[in-house]
């Protein structure tokens, strides 16, 4: 393989161009012709379509529209997938980093060729608005390209101290079978990223995607196989949480890469700690979990910058990004002004179908999410003051009006729990130190934001905040692979950051070799 060019992020589409917009609309009509997608269980080269039990994924904006019908993996499928992944491990792990990178880069090329189609599928299956769906596909391509390079690098090992008469070597080798269990909110990027990380490091993967987005997951597996990942190295097990739980229990699984909610993540960590008969590894769980992300706004903040950034961080994709802004902690000197401006900007948000290019806030993913968000919105009303609600909300689909609440009672669940929907709380703080105390008091530590002009304030907050990703004077979502390695601390996760230089270390074990070369000399 000739040397790869340095990693660069996949450029996003220029959606302001009419030609690009019409290409997207054409891509959506073309995708619509193919619906519903049949998503099979894919175990090695075997493909089993739904013969009885099936999971339907529907358009959140039009719940009667069936987007994909997925077979449901049985216990027998889980066994077969694990057997395939175990049998295929040696061959895949013995390939060089370059060979594995070639397959991942081939998968990236497959996605690049079908970018518009993949974007349109996300618009339908997960109601991701066009810019967000496009960014998600770009991120998936980025993960493939970035981890391909990181895998080559890791394969070389690390330099360590050498002394006369001794040769020392530090290598990293794949751990074995990885179970990837993914969420729906970045339906291609996150499942693809975890899978690509494990594969790049030489592991085989069994992917259990979210039940809400099996169609997107099918495309990931097709991309990887088209790129040259052998079928035994990547299997697809669609299903609900019980399929994920069955994978976690299997003794052959050495690593579990999970992204999702905190309760499920903690349950996986607990289950993975139980030794099963025949188990030869201590299972490693990479868990990227939820957050309750706060933005501190100091008295000297530039509100022209802060207001749009807060509103988009809170409401883009209906607040369903793990990085979304959930709480604003604003200096009391400018609180009234900020509340008025955020409220005004929220009232005029365009709530609509993800497929409409003008939509700013799409529906939430499913009925249970709509119910959950409505419960928190009602609590906000009874425990605080609702200062804004976007009232123009379509009737069909799982829409929730973007809502801003202020002056909530301390201890309100609206302040303490992850809502994962378009509800933003604004609180008054005495000063930045007070804001930092509130942030430090939370068990979550995923993303956070600060709007302030004084560099000393920026330094102070950087030292005080425990969050995994702190954004200063900008929105708090939209981490880019290679530029903003992403992941939370505390109860928000155990990871070493997706899209960062340490991510692949999750999927390897280090091996050191020391050879006495004194008597026989160094054989090269
Ligand atoms: N930190 C991050 O990088 C990040 C990124 C995206 C989403 N998230 C979080 O993900 C959540 C939203 O995603 P979701 O609704 O898909 O999460 P979820 O926890 O409900 O589901 C995630 C996956 O786990 C599976 N699952 C459910 N129960 C299981 C069990 N007992 N054992 C094994 N697997 C099981 C599901 O089927 C799905 O595939 C939010 O909390 C969000 O903050 C975090």
pLDDT in tens, 376-420: 999 999 999 999 999 878 989 999 999 999 999 999 999 999 999
Model confidence at 306: pLDDT above 70: yes
Q: Could you give the C-alpha distances from 104 to 90, 326, 340, 468, in angstroms and in order?
A: 18, 36, 49, 27
DSSP state of 520: T
Average pLDDT, the chain: 97
Instruction: State which ligand 1 atom lies nearest to the alpha carbon of 263.
Output: 19
Protein residue with least CA distance to atom 17, ligand 1:
260
Residue 524 banded pLDDT, cuts 50, 70, 90? low
Q: What is the pLDDT of residues 319-367, one digit of tens each?
A: 999 999 999 999 999 999 999 999 999 999 999 999 999 999 999 999 9
Q: What is the pLDDT of residues 106-120, one digit of tens each?
A: 999 999 999 999 999
Instruction: State which ligand 1 atom lies nearest to the alpha carbon of 247.
Output: 33
pLDDT at 495: 86
Q: How far does the centroid of ligand 1 lie from the alpha carbon of residue 262, in Å? A: 8
Q: How far does the centroid of ligand 1 lie from the alpha carbon of residue 239, in Å? A: 13
Instruction: State which ligand 1 atom lies nearest to the alpha carbon of 486.
Output: 3
Residue 486 banded pLDDT, cuts 50, 70, 90? very high
Residue 522 banded pLDDT, cuts 50, 70, 90? low
- Listed in sequence order, the residues at least 6 apart from 144 whose beta carbon sits closer than 8 Å to its beta carbon are 104, 105, 107, 108, 111, 192, 196
Instruction: State which ligand 1 atom lies nearest to the alpha carbon of 265.
Output: 19
Percent of the chain residues past pLDDT 90, beyond the cut: 95
Instruction: State which ligand 1 atom lies nearest to the alpha carbon of 492.
Output: 1
Q: What is the mean pLDDT of residues 469-494?
A: 98
Model confidence at 215: pLDDT above 80: yes
Q: How far does the centroid of ligand 1 lie from the alpha carbon of residue 263, in Å? A: 9
461 CB-side CA count, 13 A: 31
Q: Ligand 1 pocket test: pick from 55, 72, 183 the residue with the most ligand atoms within 8 Å of its Cβ.
A: 183
Q: How far does the centroid of ligand 1 lie from the alpha carbon of residue 403, in Å? A: 24
Tell me the catalytic residues. 288, 322
Q: Which regions of 237-334 does DSSP assign to beta strands (E)? A: 253-259, 284-288, 293-297, 325-331
Ligand 1 pocket list (CB less than 6 A): 181-186, 190, 208, 210-211, 240-241, 244-245, 248, 259-261, 264, 267-268, 288-291, 322, 418, 420, 446, 487-488, 493
Q: What is the mean pLDDT of residues 61-67?
A: 98
pLDDT at 131: 97
CB atoms within 10 A of CB 224: 29
Q: How far does the centroid of ligand 1 lie from the alpha carbon of residue 183, in Å? A: 5
Q: Ligand 1 pocket test: pick from 260, 274, 292 the residue with the most ligand atoms within 8 Å of its Cβ.
A: 260
Residue 10 banded pLDDT, cuts 50, 70, 90? very high
Q: At what angle do helices 130-155 and 189-200 cross, to 10 degrees?
A: 10
Q: Which regions of 182-237 does DSSP assign to beta strands (E)? A: 204-208, 234-236
pLDDT at 391: 81
Of 143-157, 367-381, 384-398, the poorest mean pLDDT is in 384-398
Protein residue with least CA distance to atom 27, ligand 1:
241
Residue where the block lists tokens 């928190």: 376
Q: How far does the centroid of ligand 1 lie from the alpha carbon of residue 355, in Å? A: 25
């Amino acid at each position: 393989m000739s040397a790869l060019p340095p990693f660069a992020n996949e450029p996003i589409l220029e959606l302001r161009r009419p030609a690009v917009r019409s290409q997207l609309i054409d891509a959506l009509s073309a995708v619509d012709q193919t619906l519903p997608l049949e998503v099979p269980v894919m175990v090695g080269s075997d493909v089993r379509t739904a013969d009885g039990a099936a999971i339907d994924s529907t358009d959140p904006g039009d719940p009667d529209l069936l987007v994909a019908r997925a077979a449901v993996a049985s216990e027998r499928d889980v066994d077969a997938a694990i057997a395939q992944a175990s049998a295929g491990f040696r061959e895949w792990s013995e390939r060089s980093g370059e060979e594995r990178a070639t397959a991942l880069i081939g998968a990236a090329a497959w996605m690049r060729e079908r970018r518009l189609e993949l974007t349109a599928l996300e618009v339908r299956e997960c109601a991701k608005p066009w810019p967000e769906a496009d960014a998600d596909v770009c991120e998936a391509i980025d993960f493939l390209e970035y981890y391909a390079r990181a895998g080559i690098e890791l394969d070389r090992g690390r330099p360590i101290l050498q002394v006369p008469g001794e040769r020392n070597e530090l290598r990293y080798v794949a751990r074995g079978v990885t179970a990837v269990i993914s969420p729906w909110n970045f339906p291609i990027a996150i499942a693809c990223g975890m899978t690509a990380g494990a594969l790049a490091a030489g592991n085989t993967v069994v992917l259990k995607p979210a039940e809400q987005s099996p169609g997107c997951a099918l495309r990931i597996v097709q991309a990887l196989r088209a790129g040259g990942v052998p079928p035994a190295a990547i299997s697809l097990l669609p299903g609900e949480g019980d399929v994920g739980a069955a994978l976690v229990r299997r003794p052959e699984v050495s690593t579990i890469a999970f992204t999702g909610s905190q309760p499920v993540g903690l349950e996986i960590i607990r289950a993975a700690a139980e030794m099963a008969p025949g188990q030869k590894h201590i299972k490693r769980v990479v868990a990227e979990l939820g957050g309750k992300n706060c933005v501190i706004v100091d008295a000297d903040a530039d509100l022209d910058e802060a207001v749009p950034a807060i509103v988009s961080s809170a409401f883009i994709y209906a607040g369903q990004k793990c990085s979304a802004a959930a709480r604003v902690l604003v200096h009391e000197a400018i609180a009234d002004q900020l509340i008025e401006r955020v409220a005004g900007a929220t009232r005029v948000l365009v709530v609509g179908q993800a497929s409409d290019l003008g939509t700013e806030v799409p529906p939430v993913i499913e009925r249970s999410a709509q119910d959950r968000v409505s419960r928190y919105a009602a609590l906000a009303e009874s425990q605080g003051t609702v200062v804004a609600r976007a009232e123009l909300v379509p009737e069909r689909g799982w829409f929730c009006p973007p809502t801003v609440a202020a002056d909530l009672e301390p201890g309100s669940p609206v302040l303490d729990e992850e809502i994962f929907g378009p509800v933003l709380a604004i609180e008054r703080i005495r000063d930045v130190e007070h804001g930092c105390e509130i942030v430090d008091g939370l068990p979550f530590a995923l993303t956070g934001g600060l709007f302030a002009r004084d560099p000393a304030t920026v330094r102070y907050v950087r030292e005080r905040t425990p969050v995994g990703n702190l954004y200063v004077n900008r929105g708090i979502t939209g981490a880019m692979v290679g530029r903003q390695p992403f992941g939370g601390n505390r109860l928000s996760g155990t990871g070493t950051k997706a899209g960062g230089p340490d991510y692949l270390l999750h999927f390897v074990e280090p091996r050191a070799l020391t050879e006495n070369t004194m008597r026989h000399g160094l054989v090269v």
